[in-house]
C-alpha cells in the first residue's frame, strides 16, 4: 500500500511540475515579446525576467532551466522566423482559420490579426475576414 501512495505522490508532483513548466514558459514568452516590441531585447530586461521567475515560489525550482528557456525563446524571436513570405502567409491563413472556426470573427480577434499582419508586413485583404458557408 505504501508503494502505491508513493507512486501516486510522484505522479502528482510530476504533473504539477509540467503545469509549472507551462507557466514558466508562458511568462518567458510573454516577457520576451514585450521586451522585443521596441525592436531590441535588452540585457536588463532579460535579467529582470529571470529575477521575476526565480522569485516565484512555484517556479524557482527550475533553476538552470530558466536561462535555457529564455535563450530558446530569444533565439526564436531573433531568428525572425517569419522573414519568408510563404511562412508569413501560412501563419496569417492559419490564424484566420482559427478565428473563423466558431462561425464569426470577433472584433478582438480581427484587431489582433491586423496587428500581427502589420508587424509581419503582410497585406490583409478585407475579404479574408468574410465567413463563407461551408468553409
Q: Are residues 71 and 11 in the same domain?
A: yes
DSSP letter at 19? H
Q: Are residues 68 and 98 in the same domain?
A: no
Residue 40 lies in a domain: yes
Cα 63 versus chain centre, distance: 21
**What pTM did the predictor assign?**
0.55
CA distance linking residue 32 with residue 34, whole number of Å = 5
Q: Are residues 70 and 28 in the same domain?
A: yes
Q: Are residues 52 and 91 in the same domain?
A: no
Q: Are residues 59 and 92 in the same domain?
A: no
Q: Which domain holds residue 119?
A: 81-129
Q: Are residues 22 and 54 in the same domain?
A: yes
- In the three-class reduction of DSSP (H, G, I as helix; E, B as strand; rest coil), residue 118 is classed as helix
Cell numbers describing residue 32: 520576451
pLDDT above 60 for 135? no
Per residue in 48-103, pLDDT tens?
999 999 999 888 889 999 999 999 988 887 776 555 677 778 888 888 888 888 88
Please state the domain count of the chain.
2
Q: Which residue has the higher pLDDT, 9 or 56?
A: 56
Q: Are residues 52 and 115 in the same domain?
A: no
Amino acid at each position: 500500500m505504501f508503494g502505491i501512495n508513493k507512486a501516486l505522490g510522484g505522479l502528482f508532483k510530476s504533473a504539477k511540475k509540467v503545469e509549472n513548466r507551462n507557466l514558466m514558459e508562458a511568462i518567458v514568452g510573454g516577457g520576451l515579446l514585450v521586451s522585443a516590441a521596441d525592436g531590441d531585447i535588452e540585457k536588463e530586461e532579460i535579467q529582470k525576467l529571470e529575477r521575476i521567475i526565480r522569485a516565484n515560489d512555484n517556479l524557482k525550482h527550475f533553476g538552470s532551466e530558466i536561462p535555457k528557456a529564455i535563450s530558446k525563446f530569444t533565439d526564436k524571436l531573433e531568428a525572425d522566423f517569419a522573414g519568408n513570405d510563404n511562412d508569413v502567409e501560412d501563419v496569417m491563413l492559419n490564424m484566420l482559420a482559427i478565428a473563423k472556426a466558431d462561425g464569426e470573427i470577433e472584433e478582438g480577434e480581427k484587431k489582433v490579426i491586423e496587428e500581427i499582419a502589420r508587424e509581419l508586413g503582410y497585406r490583409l485583404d478585407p475579404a479574408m475576414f468574410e465567413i463563407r458557408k461551408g468553409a
